[in-house]
Structure formats: C-alpha cells, structure tokens
Structure 1
Amino acid sequence: MTAPRSDGESPLVVAPELVAQLRARVSDRLTAHGADLPDGQREAVIAGYIAQELMAYAQETISSGRAPLTPQVEGALARALRDGLTGLGGLQRLIDDPQIEDIFANGCDNVWVRGTDGRTRRVPPVAASDADLIDLVRIAAARSGLEERRFDRGSPSLSLRLPGGQRLFAVMAVSKRPSVSIRRNVLHRVTLDDLVHRAEITPGLRDLITAMVRARKNLVICGGTGAGKTTLLRAAAGAIGVHERIVTVEDAFELGLDEDATSHPNTAALQQREPNLEGVGGIDMAAMVRWGLRMRPDRVIVGESRGAEAVPMLLAMSQGNDGSMCTVHASSSKQALTRLAMYVMQAPERLAFDAANVLIGQAVHFVLHLDVATDGTRVLSSIREVLETDGEQIPSNEIYRPGPDRRAVPAAPMRAETLDELIAAVPNVVFLAQDRW
C-alpha cells in the first residue's frame, strides 16, 4: 500500500492501482453531475464525492473480511485522489515539494528527483501505468490554456509551463517508454541580491551586472542544462527601469516577467505556437521575435536562442533595442559566440561566416557564462566583453575567467570606454572595487 522513500523518510504513498480505481468512480460521478462548475465549487463537489467513495470502499473492505485503511493511509489516498482530479496525480506531490528541483519520470514507475541540495534519489511510481502517465501529461497540456498543445504519436514531444511556473517537457512514441522531465524554479521571483546571498555571484559582480543592464548593454547568458541561465536572466532583468517596455519571447512560458506587476508592469510575453492537428498554424520563435519588434519594446528578451530566431534577435540588438538579453546553451563564454554564428548561418537568411561574425560583433556586448562550482553551487564563471569585428573572427576579452573552483576571478582589463559607460550608468556604485581595484 505504501512505499518508503530512499532517503530514510517514509511518506505514505498509496498504490496507484487503488488510486486509479477510486478516481474512475469519482470521475463517473462528476460526469453524471453534468454541469460545468467554477473551480472553487468544483473542488468542493469533488471533495464530497471523494469522501463518499472512501466510505463506500471502507464498507467494501470490512464486508470482505479485510482490515480497513488506517486514518493515515486514508488521508494519503484522499490526497492522491484530489491530486488526480484537480492536479497532476502522482506528480503533484513532487511538484509541491519545495525541496525538489527536478523530476524525471522514465515511465510510470522509474521516477527520480533531484533535490535543492543536489542529491538525486528514486521515488515511488507516479501513475498506475505508462498510459496513465501519458494521460497526466495531456491533462497538463489541456490546463496550460492559451493554445492547443498536443501529445500523441503525431506530436510526440511537449514543452509547456505548469500553473506553478514549473517547466515540463515530455516525449512518447520515439522512446521505449513515455519520459517526463519537470524543472522547478526554486527562485521564481529572484534578484541579484538573492544570488549574492546564495554565493552564486559576489557583490562586485552584482554591481557589474546591474551597471551592464542600466547602461543598456546587450547580454548573452550561457551555460549547460540546469546551470541557472533563466534564473540569472530573471535576476538581471530586475535592474531594468520600471517604466521600460519589455517583450519576452519563449518556446514555453517560463520567465514570468509579465507576472511581476511591481517591477515589470509594461511587459508582453509571447510564446511560439505548435501546429494544429492538420499541421498548420504553427508560429516559430523567429516569427515571434519579429512580431515582438513591432510592439515597440525598449528591450527584447529571448528565453532561449537555439535556431533561426538568432538573426532577428541580433538585428534587434544592433538596431536600437539596446539592453536586450537572451540565453544560449554553451560550455564556455567563447563557445557561445560560435554557437550564435552557427545559428545565424543555418537560418533561412543563410548569412555567410563573415557576415554572421559582423552581426554578432555589432549586437552583443557581453557574454556571461554559468557553471557549477566544485562545492556544487551554481556560479557565474566567466564574463567576456565582445569587441567590434571585421568579419574574420569575433574578438573578445575575458574580463573574468573561471578560477580554481570555477568561480569568476578577474582576468583581462575591460576597455576604458566601456568602463566609463558602466560607471556613468551607476555613478553612486564603485562596482568593480570589491573584485579588482
């Protein structure tokens, strides 16, 4: 009936088969009820049906000569039923756990989580079968709103933002079993001060990034998967003036700047759209960036650049939308520039190598690279200042390089002209004094 957790704790986890059996009964009663109900009233009706079905099950158990459920197990069963009907079933208890950062389901019963402490452990099944796990993903897609999000053999991948801000990606048909990955942003509302407190950046780097943003420098934030790119971008955006107009473009909503009415009240969030059942109506991120530029933004923020959207994004950065930002997957600050050049050359515009370099050199001012320190902390590891280019290459200076523990340490000096611009942007802060002078 229950399964212990591998970390020594023993939360009550009810057998998925029993959950599925009673959930089907409650679902049938909801169907018979017929009317669409407001969320609050619907939850009250569901709670009543769950209590009735639990009582009926207890009577069946006693009549058959078996021991009834203990109050603790019955409470866990009620929670599992509620999660299955108003949440995401067995996944919901993991999503709600503030100590869990990542969830990996390789099928319904091979489930792992990574905690905020960096440790990975296996947890009990989240569904009675792989088919039920697929149904949970489809429920998540249906509740995401805004647009049609398919998950079937014709559209075997799904990327979306859950109501709580978590990022879900799932695949089926192309894998032996359905696979679900959920990333939970521990710091959804985050500031640069928060990152200082978590020892991810120093006070001097906090002031430097603040100066970059206020001086309207174009930033590329790079790193590996889970390095904290979105978190740093969200924190850096906190230095943007409250009255500036921002347009964010993402493949699935994650940044959430538009949800912060205090810091970013004039923000429009755009999300690419998948094709419908007929394979038409899709709108990719490149089109979204172009549309965003027509919305007269002061800054454009691209959640993750990895394709043709690199060209309009870089054009935006070099044609008046200074202070824009994006994230890129790369293993170093230098490789991020190479990645951008590759995306530009592969875009429909088919720019030549030298033209791609010129575009990047004119658009990007700084590249910030994130890594994981030797103690397991996600840290800012490198900062590279991009210089103007003649097309042969993209010259740059690594003004902060990875130290012995992968944390950023001072390296090459910044150009005097750039330094003057940053100091002018934050005249009351000597932002490099603590790290360099």
Structure 2
Amino acid sequence: MSVVQQSRTGWQASVNQPLIDELRQQVASQLAASGARLSGRERDQRVDDLVRVALDAHAQRRLAAGALPLDPPVEKAVAKAVRDAMTGMGPLQPLLADPTITNIFINGGTVWVKRTDGSKVRVPAITSTADELIALIRDIAARAGADERRFDRGVPRVSVRLPDGSRLFATLLAREPSVSIRKHTLLQTSLDELAITYGAMDGGLRDLLTAMVLARRNIVICGGTDTGKTTFLRAMAKAIPPHERLITIEDTDELGLDLDPDHPDCTALQAREPNVEGEGGIDLAELVRWALRMSPDRVILGEARGGEVVPLLNCMSQGNDGSMGTIHASSSKQAFSRLMTYAAQSAERLPFESTAPLIGGAVHFVVHLAWSTDGARVVSSIREVLHAEGAEVISNEVFKPGPDRRAMPAAPLRTDTLGELMSAGFNPDAIRGW
C-alpha cells in the first residue's frame, strides 16, 4: 500500500471514529461477558473473531437499511483500529511501530516525537479529549503491567513496561495528563553491536569494557537523560557468562534480562506501589536486601534514584563482585557526589564522610555516556576508583572526553588493575595511544 493510500485509509478510519468506538465497546462487553481466562495469544484470537463478527453484523444492518456496506479498505482500517484498541496500544500503536521514533511525549492534545536522527517533530493528537487519553492510559496499564495499576487524581502517576519493551510514564497533576514513552529497540544488544553498528566506542574500548565484566569489576554507568544508560547496561550484561545467577532490580521492568536466553538463571525483581490503603509497597532498597538472600552471583540495579544506593554499595563490597547499576549524572566525576547525596537521603542518613569510603571500597569503575558532536550516543569518560580521603572519592580518569566527546585515552590504569583485566583476556595494545 502506498503512502497516499495509507494516509487516505487512516483519514477514512478517523471519519468512522464513532463506529470504531461502538465496535470497541461491543467487543469489550462480549469479551468480559465470556468470563474466560485467556492467555495473551488466545485473547488476541478471540478479539479477532469478535471484530469479524461485529463487522459482518454491521454490514448486514446497512444492507437491510438500503445503504452500501463499507468499502473494503475502510472496513480493514476500522477493524485494525478496533483490534489495536483491544490488543495493541490503541492510537499509540502506529507511533510505537515506527522504527524511526525513539521517544513519544504527550501533553494532553499535543504530541511530539523524537526520532533516531535527533530531530523532534510535532504529530497529530492521538485522542480527542483528556478523558479519552486517561482511559487509554488506564487500559494500557491494566493490560501491559503485571498488576492493574491505578491512574486517577488519587494516584496521579503510573509507570509500566509495554510489550515491546518501551517504558511509559504518565502523570495527572495538571488539567490534562502528560505521557512520556521511551522506546527500547535494542533489547538483545551487545557491546559488539554498539561498537560496530552504532559507533558508541571503538574496538579497543569494547574489549576493555568486556574485560571489566569478565574480571568481575563493579561498574556504575552514568549519563544524562536519554544517553542510553539502560541499553548500555543491557549490553554490558550480555558479556556475563551464562552460568552466573543474576538478580535484576528495577522500578519499572525495562532490562528484560530474564527474557534473554543468554541469561538462563536470572530473576527480575520490580518495585511495587502501595495499594489504596497505603500498604503493600516495596521499594528498591528493600529489593536489594531481598536479592542478597537469593544467592546471586551479581546484582544489577536498573537505576539508582535514592536510598537503595546504600544496600547496593554494601552488596558490591560484600562478595557480589561484578554488580552493576546506572545513575543520572552529567559527568563521570559527578556520579560520586550523586551517590553520596542519595546515601545521605537514605534511611541510614549516611554523611559524606561515611559514604566516600563505602564507594571507594565498592565501586571499581564509572562509565559515563554522552551525545557526541555528530549526534551519536557514545562512551565519553571512564574513571577507575582508587580509594577515598575524608569525604572525597579519589579516582583516575583513564579515558576522558575528546573534542567530539568520544572517550580518548588519558591516565594509565593501576598496574594490578591492568593485570586483572589482562587475565580476563584484555590486550592493552588494542587501545591506540595508551
């Protein structure tokens, strides 16, 4: 089908929005009335059957009234719209299916998308009213999450992992809901792919990072918003030997390592919001403590945002070498102050003088990600943690940002660290200019 035909069909479907809404409600009622507990595939098939029957009945009614049935292209578009609303992500589905889109931002009736080339463009609204958008978010949260999640003025935020791996976060604090969707297209990526296909690093740096993982170094990955921290963490984890037992801890399930056949012994733990009575909530800090009772070889924290850094640092320094996590920071050095600030906000209320030695004894490397001057997500800086003095973490920036913000060799690694990495298969000659 040509672009013109697709556009015309989409317009025709929008003209028939009342029919789409009517059929959707009809199919939803029939699905609920059956009372059957169906698997995802069974539910999709059942929806297809109900949509087909509903459209046949609609065509018969039109013929009985002396009107022509819908044109086949229009009927096909209407059927797809109803199916998307019931089994996909409704009007969001075309945006989620577009491989050139990386982020979707919805502010009520205003919709923006960010594309893979870094451009940001405005696209047509996906719903007619705020109530329709709220209903869509509730439906998506109920179907995409492990548990049904509230979204109303009483609980004005929801965060879910969509079936394609994207992350949706919505708030309801203003007059209209606000939705942010970050698409994760590289769910099975590796350091090789990031280096060769996407130019995030050269081959020598890829080999160094792989050796860090194999040598069981504790690594903190940092960077600004949308620099690819989760994707990079997933790629680093790809280098972990498959026999190791992994426990992943996240606020919203994004890593998906438990779904990766290369990690057959992986358990994914996800934080849970309190119920209406304010009970049953489980935060990341508690999940880290749970993970330590599960005999992990490594603990992987999706993103550190608060007090969970204290049990994570304890985990890294108490025999779970090779653990990793991400944190928001604008430089590799700032990662230390962010970790100390989060520790000060934790239940333990650790002062900087107590946290700095904890970081110095737990973290081996900090890897910073940034956007290069030519618009690529790249490794920009790597720090080797040495020790702590007072309230300061002492480190060497072994790779620093170059003119294009890509990492370039700076200070040498410590001799014993280099020896450990070489034992893990690293060849120092792979780094040009080191």
- The answer to whether the 8 Å contact 1:62/1:68 transfers is yes
SS in 1 for 2:393: coil
Aligned equivalent of 2:353: 354
CA pair 34-237 structure 1, distance change in 2 beyond 3 A: closer
Aligned equivalent of 1:343: 342
- The answer to whether the 8 Å contact 1:88/1:140 transfers is yes
Alignment of 1:26-425 (within 5 A): 26-57=27-58, 69-107=70-108, 109-172=109-172, 174-197=173-196, 198-261=198-261, 263-425=262-424
Structure 1: state its 5+ residue gaps: none
SS in 2 for 1:47: helix
Aligned partner letter, 1:244 = E
- The answer to whether the 8 Å contact 2:165/2:183 transfers is yes
Q: Distance in 2 between matches of 1:291 and 1:153?
A: 32
SS in 2 for 1:316: helix
The superposition leaves residues 32-59 of structure 1 with CA deviations (integer Å, 9 ceiling, x where unpaired) of 5554555444434432332343345556
TM-score by length of 2: 0.92
The superposition leaves residues 83-122 of structure 1 with CA deviations (integer Å, 9 ceiling, x where unpaired) of 1111221112222222322122212x32222222322222
SS in 1 for 2:430: coil
Aligned equivalent of 2:431: 434
Aligned partner letter, 1:317 = M
Q: CA deviation at 1:175?
A: 2.0
Q: Distance in 2 between matches of 1:92 and 1:276?
A: 30
- The answer to whether the 8 Å contact 1:276/1:282 transfers is yes
Alignment of 1:2-13 (within 5 A): 12=10
TM-score by length of 1: 0.91
Instruction: Give the aligned CA root-mean-square deviation in angstroms.
Output: 2.4
- The answer to whether the 8 Å contact 1:89/1:126 transfers is no
The superposition leaves residues 263-314 of structure 1 with CA deviations (integer Å, 9 ceiling, x where unpaired) of 2111111111110111111010000000001111111110000100000000
- The answer to whether the 8 Å contact 2:145/2:160 transfers is no
CA pair 290-34 structure 1, distance change in 2 beyond 3 A: closer
- The answer to whether the 8 Å contact 2:383/2:397 transfers is yes
CA pair 35-279 structure 1, distance change in 2 beyond 3 A: same
CA pair 231-40 structure 1, distance change in 2 beyond 3 A: closer
Q: CA deviation at 1:242?
A: 1.4
SS in 1 for 2:193: helix
Q: Distance in 2 between matches of 1:96 and 1:435?
A: 40
Q: Distance in 2 between matches of 1:49 and 1:435?
A: 63
Aligned partner letter, 2:249 = V
Q: CA deviation at 1:209?
A: 0.3
Q: CA deviation at 1:234?
A: 0.7
Structure 2: state its 5+ residue gaps: none
Q: Distance in 2 between matches of 1:320 and 1:195?
A: 30
SS in 2 for 1:252: coil
- The answer to whether the 8 Å contact 1:257/1:264 transfers is yes
Q: Distance in 1 between matches of 2:186 and 2:428?
A: 24
Q: Distance in 2 between matches of 1:165 and 1:395?
A: 37
Q: Distance in 2 between matches of 1:199 and 1:190?
A: 13
Q: Distance in 2 between matches of 1:11 and 1:309?
A: 50
Aligned partner letter, 1:402 = P
CA pair 32-216 structure 1, distance change in 2 beyond 3 A: closer
Aligned length: 428
133-142 or 327-336: bigger deviation: 133-142
Q: CA deviation at 1:188?
A: 0.5
Q: Distance in 1 between matches of 2:249 and 2:39?
A: 31
